[in-house]
Chains A and B, each alone.
Chain A
Amino acid sequence: MIRVIHVSDDAVAHALGVDAVVAALRTAAPEAELRRVSGWGMHWLEPIIEVDGIGYGPVAAEDVQAILAGEADHLRLGIIAEHPWIAGQDRLTFARAGKTRPLSLEDYAATGGWVGLNAARARPAQAVLDEVKASGLRGRGGAGFPAGIKWQTVADTPGAVKYIVANADEGDSGTFADRMLMEGDPYGLIEGMAIAGYAVGARKGYIYIRSEYPHAIARLEAAIALSRAIVAPFDVEVRVGAGAYVCGEETSLLNSLEGKRGEVRAKPPLPAIEGLFGRPTVVNNVLTLAAIPWILAHGGVAYAAYGMGRSRGTMPLQIAGNVRYGGLYETAFGITLGDIVNRIGGGSESGAPVRAVQVGGPLGAYFPPALFDTPFDYESFAARDGLIGHGGVVVFDASVDMLAQARFAMEFCAHESCGKCTPCRIGSTRGVEALDRVRAGGRSAPDNVERLPQMRNAKGPQPGAAAELALVEDLCDTMASTSLCALGGFTPYPVMSAIRHFPEDFGAGTPVAEAAE
Chain B
Amino acid sequence: MDLDTILRKHRDSEGPLLPILRDIQAAFGCISEAHKREVAQALNLTRAEVHGVASFYHDLRDAPADRPIIRLCHAEACQARGGRALVAAAERIADGRVLTEAVYCLGLCAVGPSAIVGDEIHARLTPAKLAALIEKAAA
| A residues in contact (CB < 8 Å) with B | 11-12, 14-16, 43-44, 46, 170-176, 178-180, 211-215, 237, 239-245, 256-263, 277, 318-323, 326-327, 349, 358, 362, 392, 394-397, 400, 404-405, 408, 412, 415-416, 418
Contacts and interface: CB of A to CB of B under 8 A. Distances in A.
Contacts of A171: 104-105
Nearest to B115: A15
B110 A15 contact: no
B71 to A, nearest CB: 9
28 contacts: A11-B121, A12-B108, A12-B110, A15-B108, A15-B114, A15-B121, A15-B124, A44-B110, A173-B109, A176-B107, A176-B109, A212-B116, A214-B116, A241-B18, A242-B21, A242-B25, A243-B103, A244-B58, A259-B43, A261-B56, A277-B14, A321-B109, A321-B110, A326-B110, A327-B110, A362-B76, A394-B109, A400-B80
Given A259-B17, A397-B80, A418-B56, 19 more contacts: A43-B110, A46-B111, A173-B75, A174-B75, A175-B109, A176-B110, A178-B107, A213-B107, A237-B13, A243-B58, A259-B15, A260-B17, A320-B80, A320-B109, A320-B110, A320-B112, A321-B80, A349-B81, A408-B76
> Most B CB atoms within 10 A — which of A256, A318, A394?
A394
B107 A212 contact: yes
B75 to A, nearest CB: 3
A395 B80 contact: yes
B79 interface: yes
B2 interface: no
A314 B21 CA distance: 39
A342 to B, nearest CB: 16
Nearest to A183: B107
A243 B59 contact: yes
A256 B112 CA distance: 29
Nearest to A322: B80
B47 to A, nearest CB: 15
Given A173-B109, A400-B80, A261 B17 contact: no
B57 A262 contact: yes
B52 interface: yes
A344 to B, nearest CB: 12
Given A44-B110, A212-B105, A242-B57, A394 B80 contact: yes
Q: How large is the interface on B (under 10, 10 to 19, 20 to 34, 35 or more residues)?
A: 35 or more
B111 A44 contact: yes
Contacts of A243: 57-59, 103
A15 B123 contact: yes
Q: Which 6 A-B pairs have the closest CB atoms?
A: A326-B110, A259-B17, A173-B75, A320-B109, A242-B57, A321-B80
B66 to A, nearest CB: 20
A240 B22 contact: yes
A323 B78 CA distance: 11
Nearest to A173: B75
B110 A242 contact: no
A479 B116 CA distance: 33
A349 B121 CA distance: 22
A215 B123 CA distance: 15
B121 A239 contact: no
Point out which of A46, A176, A349, A415 has the most chain B C-beta atoms below 10 A from its C-beta: A176
Interface string B72-109: 00011111110010000000000000000001111111
B127 interface: no
A186 B3 CA distance: 32
A438 B92 CA distance: 28
A113 B21 CA distance: 36
Contacts of B63: none
Interface in B16-56: 16-19, 21-22, 25, 43, 52-53, 56
A260 B53 CA distance: 6
Nearest to A46: B111
B123 A245 contact: no
Contacts of B124: 15-16
A297 to B, nearest CB: 28
Given A256-B18, A394-B80, A412 B108 contact: no
A360 B43 CA distance: 39
Given A214-B119, A244-B57, A394-B76, A174 B18 contact: no
A176 B106 CA distance: 8
Interface string B110-134: 1110101001011110000000000
B7 interface: no
Nearest to A394: B77
Contacts of A215: 121
A172 B78 CA distance: 12
B70 interface: no
A139 B60 CA distance: 31
